[in-house]
Structure 1
């Protein structure tokens, strides 16, 4: 019985150590006016490698829009492009990190698309010019996209020193921007980040629908 008790004690101690070392980052992203900024990508670069996981993701199409609008993935992720609409779409990208085209289809193509190079990939639809989406491919181990309230949580990020990178579709020249260095303590960190963005031309009613993808593509092509 004593041997069993000692074994249980060691297991509990090990689990406690795992929980104690699990920190995390709770981030709030705002624009230059201090308003919550949705669809902002935060990545953390540090010495601690990320946990191994399945490098798979989905970029859906619903109501003639890409869902999510911004998808962040690690380099080497295979992305499926299901079409949840009752009409067909033809997804493509001319962006340097990933050029591809999925011919006119409904449902879900059988083969996912491998995103094997870091960078910003602008998605469009040959049938619906108003459809624009973004895939942010990163080599950094920890990353996330802010929600409608401008917040995101990166769970289980080990305590340590990290370099932050920020990105948003409406950032200047659509390039990643430095977010500074942070130290995440063992009990986690709450941090606010500010990111200057330009007005969303894609939502401007006066702009021709066909110009939206072209503007986004030209930004990506010159990153």
Structure 2
């Protein structure tokens, strides 16, 4: 895993009075985009109803790797683990609140697991040590991860006070996460949060 020493630049824009689209850009110290940073917004007024996302809640095992490397999943919903390799895999996690184990299963077979607690779940394969994936389990619909361009857009975020959080497996702070208080209606412009990405990702 390439070490990153980075500064996170958060570009926040609110485009409506009642609810707005919040754009967050994550860049390193050289201005390069940082991908797979999970951005969440937690409105002070709370959220209502079940949390749903448009992307598949699926982690494939292919070419001796988990894909994708980071998945954002709602708490209480099942994530599938299809095995597309010719070899068997043994999926497990020791993460607090979300410990689980899926014993050996083979090609074209699928297993699933429901994550019952919010937080970060580091997942590995008990047979192939190089395989590593993270599931960020959230209880807010205003969550997504940055793409290759380092940007993410959270849609229809309610106006008002909120907590903005950025998590990345290499962010070298407690919990690999930094947070700040924002007011969505007044969030237009640029804000910055410094961060050190020199930490090492681990399944432990």
For this structure pair, what is the TM-score category when the shorter chain's length is used for normalisation? Answer: 0.7 to 0.9
**2:82 equivalent in structure 1:** 82
SS at match of 1:81: strand
CA contact (8 A) 2:76 2:115 kept: yes
The whole-number CA distance in structure 1 between the counterparts of 2:177 and 2:163 is: 11
Q: Over aligned residues, Cα RMSD in angstroms? A: 2.8
SS at match of 2:23: strand
Shift of 1:120: 1.4
Bigger radius of gyration: 1
**2:12 equivalent in structure 1:** none
Shift of 1:72: 1.5
CA contact (8 A) 1:27 1:191 kept: no
Shift of 1:193: 5.0
CA contact (8 A) 2:24 2:153 kept: yes
Shift of 1:44: 0.6
The 3 A distance-change label for structure 1 pair 169 and 178 is: closer
The 3 A distance-change label for structure 1 pair 54 and 35 is: closer
SS at match of 1:185: helix
SS at match of 1:175: helix
Higher helix share: 1
**1:109 equivalent in structure 2:** 110
The 3 A distance-change label for structure 1 pair 77 and 54 is: same
Q: Which runs of 5+ in 1 are unaligned?
A: 1-18, 203-215, 219-223
The 3 A distance-change label for structure 1 pair 108 and 183 is: farther
The 3 A distance-change label for structure 1 pair 153 and 64 is: same
SS at match of 1:30: coil
1:100-179 correspondence to structure 2 within 5 Å? 100-105=100-105, 106-110=107-111, 112-172=112-172, 175-179=175-179
Q: Which runs of 5+ in 2 are unaligned?
A: 1-15
Shift of 1:174: 5.8
Shift of 1:34: 3.4
Number of matched residues? 185
The 3 A distance-change label for structure 1 pair 62 and 184 is: same
The 3 A distance-change label for structure 1 pair 52 and 191 is: farther
Q: How big is each residue's C-alpha offset from its partner over 1:78-114, in whole Å with a ceiling of 9 and x where there is no partner?
A: 111112223322111111121111122132435x211
Q: How big is each residue's C-alpha offset from its partner over 1:100-152, in whole Å with a ceiling of 9 and x where there is no partner?
A: 11122132435x21101112111111221110000111233421111111111
The whole-number CA distance in structure 1 between the counterparts of 2:116 and 2:38 is: 18
**1:97 equivalent in structure 2:** 97
**2:196 equivalent in structure 1:** 197
